[in-house]
Structure formats: structure tokens, C-alpha cells
Structure 1
């Protein structure tokens, strides 16, 4: 049925659960004269953008409809600031159907004061199933839903267990005190296994193991902004890297792709993260998104050491520093 209405509530044909999308936000219709698909803003409050260009009425929020804008295959429609739709146009039997996909910014609900469902999934297995002397601790913070986080929390440990079940691989890690290749490979296999187009998650995995001398080693890999910090004999060690778009190291990585961020640009396609598991739709649209993890140096913890680790999602790190988190653990241990 035409036209196709995009909005936050029924009877819109495509309902987007985003507080920045108006009840009836925009419309897609077929122009029989030009034989082209067209997009028109229906007087939305927060505007409609086609390939980052505004197509709403110049007086935003005036409730006046915008002028129709011609659509082409591969176009990206943005409703408000976060909901993205990809346009796919195919010619089949003289008909021109349109397909749309949507990715929504998880921070929208926070900015609007809504209570968010829990999308964090934690994991702890020591020893790692089928692999003696190895253990794994992790946290996976979902956005767009908890599907990706749940999938990764199941699949990543399975891949790590399978890789380390090979005696030569396990012995190499214990002999050289380095599991970086194992962690990178497990992250790659996990990303290849999941098929979440419009959901994603952070991933922080702390792998520990014991060598022949029964010294413990810890090494971390991460995607996103869920962080891990260790304290070894009173020394604080950051085990992760911040992959938010505002991070200096992440902006430098993006610049190396040949498509640097503009000054003040703090989001990619509405997301504040540039590295994550999943979000396959966004990664297809923008090659600056990545699933290449940061891997820390291995930390040696002898039997004489006093050590602990704190692993958490941004729900903690947004309100407390890593230094303060370590102090609190020390205070609790002393009491």
C-alpha cells in the first residue's frame, strides 16, 4: 500500500520506537510522472535528512510539510538524529519495491529520561570449559536490544575454548606468556558467526591462565567502551582502550581510513561507538566502523602479588573513574 508512512506510532507503516521520531514523521511515495521514489517530511519536530542533507521545511517544528526529495538506491534516511534507514530499490517485473532497514541510537532513551531495559550480559567461567588452567571473565553491553550481547556471551567463550583445546596453541600461550593472537582470532570468529544487522554490543574479555611455574597471567581484549582495570601490588593498569568516537585514539584510527571525522563530530551514523560486535547494517554503510579488538599486554601475577580486576560497562564508568573504582575495592578488602 502506498504511500509508506514512517513514524513513532501506529498507524504508520513502519514504526520506529525512537523518542525523536514524530508520530507521523515522513512518507515515501511513488511519483508516477517522474517514475521515481520520493521522500517527504510530514512536518516533523526533529527533521528528516537524506544523506545528511535536510529535506524538512526550513522552519523546523513548524508542522509544514517539506518538499519531496528523490530517492536512489543506497540512500540513507535519518529521522531526527539517530534512526537510520537504508533505501534499496530494485526493478522487478516493472515494479519498483522499496526495502528499508533501521538502526536506532541507544542513547536516545537516556537523553529522554526513559528507563532502559538491562542489556548488559556478564560471563564468568574458570576454568574455561574443556581447557584446564585457563579462565575467562567478560561483559557485553548491548544496544538496540540484548540479542547481540546474549549471542556474543555464548559464542565467544565457545570459540576461545575450541582454539585453546589444541595442545600446541595452549602450550604456546603458556610458554610465551601471550594470548594476543588467540584473543584476536576468537573475536574475529565471533563477529563472523553472529548475524545481527541492527543490534550490536561492546565486548570486554579478560583471559587468565597459569604457566608451568603456577604464575598467573591476565590479558584483555575489547571492543567499545566497556572497560577493564587491574590493580597489581597497588599499581593500576588499564587493560582496555576506549572506542567511543570522541576518543583520541579512535579518532586517529578513523583518520587512517582516509575519512577523518570533522571537528566536533561525536557520532557515526548516530552511534557514539566506532567499534563493536554486530551492527552489520551500519558496517556495510560506513567502513569506518570496525570489529578489530584492542588487545592489552599480558600482565604477570606471581604468587606473592596482591591483585584484582574490575570489569564493567559504561553504566559504571560514566559515573566513576577507574582510579576511584580501584580505591573502593581496596577499601572493601581492608574492611
Structure 2
């Protein structure tokens, strides 16, 4: 049963006979958006510690709940000074053939010092229902709220799975070596299903699949300014297109519609984006807005390749170039080449660089490590 409460009272799910443990001391829950287990201090008197680090609310003595802290396999939770819980996390009924790491941070508004409202939603699913050799990795960055992003995170993966499960669709993708039609159709169906008039979201979706030889194929589709890059045997591959108003491709597309932007014009109806899901009211008012995604060429990854993908919201790309992001991954893996490197640690490393550079926006990162195909290891967030 979730959430799981840790405390001294009998109503707790895990009961401690320790006078330093509060009646309801801490809580463990599953974050379905970030796909992570999290620990929260429930305003305890004597504190909750994760690997000896306090997770209490910064306002000591306020009895307010803390921010969630991510749990990983092997962590030690301490309630008060002596009651300890060892964390063991195992995957059940989910075999992920690639390494997957996820990290996110709402970040801090630099002028006020307050935490920004989190409007990013990250998700991945492998295998897709009815399409066991397919997996999907997505980041949706909301604006005007997180409602559209949360809705799309539910609807879009379902649409992709439903399309792939229809008749000969999978065979066609494997034969043609492309899922372009699947991705375009999924975006179209999702846009039709999202009924958010004054909220919208970007969408970046990386679809991977395996053929009968266990080689992997990756294809990306996107709307907005989140981005996906890949690196295959040291060669960078851009998997997305920038859909900000200031981008060359968008200005050209808008000019073809007969409504060219003026020199220096960088926003339409207050938005710096031209393509998104949702925002139905704006699309009704201005035909320059679009929900037509860019779809990348297919990248073929054999078991002998060294490859990874990095998907991130614009909070990362505002302060780090795609070239630098790839370097961060390669340098981190090289520095720890004699150790077992988790995909989560790589994602956290990239995220921390954005934090150090004081990004002013929500930042989410998904790291997909295809080297796990070669080593036979399986890593999940």
C-alpha cells in the first residue's frame, strides 16, 4: 500500500518502538511522473536522515513536511539517531535492455530565491503494451501550468502503443526501418485529445526498437525547445529541431504561411514558441502556431557501437550547448571507466552542471545508455 508511513504509532505501515521516532515520522512514496521512489520527512521532532544527510524542512522546528528526496538501492534511512532502514529496490516484470537515468530540478528563481513551480514531466516505458520490442522516452515541458504536460504524459505513450499494436504496423516499421508515420500519428491523436485552452507543453519523444538481430534503432519527434542529442561512436547526432520563434526554420515556415515575422520579433501572443501541444485558444486566434512535429532520421545502433542519448528540457539548453552536454557525458564516463557507472549518476551529473551555471528554468534530463546492450547490464532509474 502506498504511500508507506514510518512512525511510532500502530497505524504506521512500518512501526518503530523508539522514543525518538515521531508518531508519524516519515513517508515513502512512488513518484509516477519522475519514476522514482522518494522519501519525505513528515515534520518529525528528531529528524530524518538519508545516508547521514538531513532531509528535514529547512525551517527547523516548524513541523512542516520536507521536500521529497530520491531513494536509491542501498540507501540508509535513519529516524532520529538510531532507528535505521536499509533500502532495497528491485525491478519486477520489467527488463530494460538499455541503461536509463532520470534527473530533474525545479530550480530557483534567482531574484526571489524561491523554488520555481515544476512544469516538466518526464516519463519512459519499456516495453510498450502490445509492442514488446519498443520503448519510449519523453519529456514534456508545460507552460501556463503543468496540466497539459501531465495529460500528454498519459495520453501520448498510450497512443504510440495503440498504433503499434494495430495489424501489421510493427512489421512495417521493422521492414521500412522507420517509425515516422507512427510518431506523426501519435502526435496528431494526442493534440486532438488534449483539451487545454490556456495551457500547453513542448514534447520530445525518443522511440527505440529492436530487430530480430537485437540491433537497436532510435527515432525522435519533437515540438518546442526541449531537445534530444545522440552520440554514436563519438559522433554527435542532433535528433530534434528548435521551434522557438527566433529559430531560422520557424521563421521560414511562418513566412511561407504568408505572415512573416518582423525583424527583431521574438514572440507570438507572448510565447517564444511556435509549436506545442495544447494552447487551443491561441491556435484558434493565430494560424502560425502548429502541432506538427519534427521527426528525425533513424539512428542504427549495433551491439558493437558505443552510444547514448540525452533528452532534456530547455532549462539545460539555456546554459549548456549540445556539444558541451555530450562532452560532460563522455568525460564523466571516462573518469569512472574502472567503476560501474549508473545511468542515474550520469543524468545527475549533467543536471548539476545546469544548476552550477544557475539556469533560470525547470530542468529535466533523461540519459539513455546503449552501451548496456553491449555489456549485458541493465540499469533503470
- Does the pair score TM above 0.5? yes
Pairwise CA RMSD: 1.4
Aligned 8 A contact 1:156 1:187 in 2: yes
Tell me by how many angstroms 1:110 deviates: 6.5
Contact 1:135 1:209 in 2 (8 A): yes
TM-superposed deviation, 1:131:
1.2
What is the match of residue 248 of structure 2? 248
Q: In structure 1, what is the equivalent of residue 93 of structure 2?
A: none
Structure 2 distance, partners of 1:279, 1:111, is: 28
Alpha-carbon distance in 2 for matches of 1:110, 1:273: 21
3-state SS of paired residue (1:157): helix
C-alpha separation in 1, matches of 2:259 and 2:194: 27
Matching of residue 190 in structure 1 with residue 190 in structure 2 = yes
The question of whether the paired residues in 2 share the 8 Å contact of 1:229 and 1:322 is answered with yes
Q: What is the 5 A alignment of 1:217-296? A: 217-296=217-296
The whole-number CA distance in structure 1 between the counterparts of 2:178 and 2:331 is 32
CA contact (8 A) 1:175 1:211 kept: no
Q: Which residue of 1 aligns with 2:163?
A: 163
Matches within 5 A, 1:1-335: 115-334=115-334, 335=336
Query: TM-score normalized by structure 1?
Result: 0.66
Deviations 1:188-220 (A, max 9, x none): 000000100000000000000011221100000
Query: Gaps (5+ residues) in structure 2?
Result: 1-107, 337-381
Q: Per the alignment, in what secondary structure is the counterpart of residue 152 of structure 1?
A: helix
Give SS of 2:262's match: coil
Larger Rg, first or second structure (1 or 2) = 1
State the 1:129 CA deviation.
2.4
Residue 220 and residue 174 in structure 1: after superposition, are their counterparts in 2 closer, same or farther (change >3 A)? same
Q: Which has the higher contact order (CA 8 A, sep 6+)?
A: 2
- Listed one character per residue, the Cα deviations across residues 40-85 of structure 1 (whole Å, up to 9, x for unaligned) are xxxxxxxxxxxxxxxxxxxxxxxxxxxxxxxxxxxxxxxxxxxxxx
Secondary structure class of the residue paired with 1:316:
helix
Give the Cα–Cα distance (whole angstroms) in 2 for the partners of residues 123 and 112 of structure 1. 30
Q: What SS does the aligned partner of 2:329 have?
A: helix
Give the CA deviation at 1:251.
Answer: 0.5
Question: What whole-Å deviation, never above 9, does each CA across 1:209-242 have from its counterpart, x for those lacking one?
Answer: 0112211000000000000000000000010000
**For residues 255 and 129 of structure 2, what CA distance do their matches in structure 1 show?**
40
**8 Å contact 1:174–1:212 — kept in the other structure?**
no
Distance 1:308 1:196, change over 3 A: same
State the alpha-carbon separation in 1 of the partners of residues 163 and 295 from structure 2. Answer: 17
Task: Report the TM-score, using the length of structure 2 for normalisation.
Answer: 0.58
Distance 1:289 1:309 in 2: 28
Per mean C-alpha deviation after superposition, the further-off stretch among 111-120 and 316-325 is 111-120
- Structure 1 contact 283–290 (Cα < 8 Å) conserved: yes
The Cα offsets for residues 109-133 of structure 1, whole Å up to 9 and x where unpaired, read as 9697564201000011111123110
1:51 alignment partner in structure 2? none
3-state DSSP of counterpart to 2:155: helix
Look up the SS of the partner of 1:127 in the other structure.
Answer: coil
Unpaired runs of 5+ residues, structure 1, are 1-108
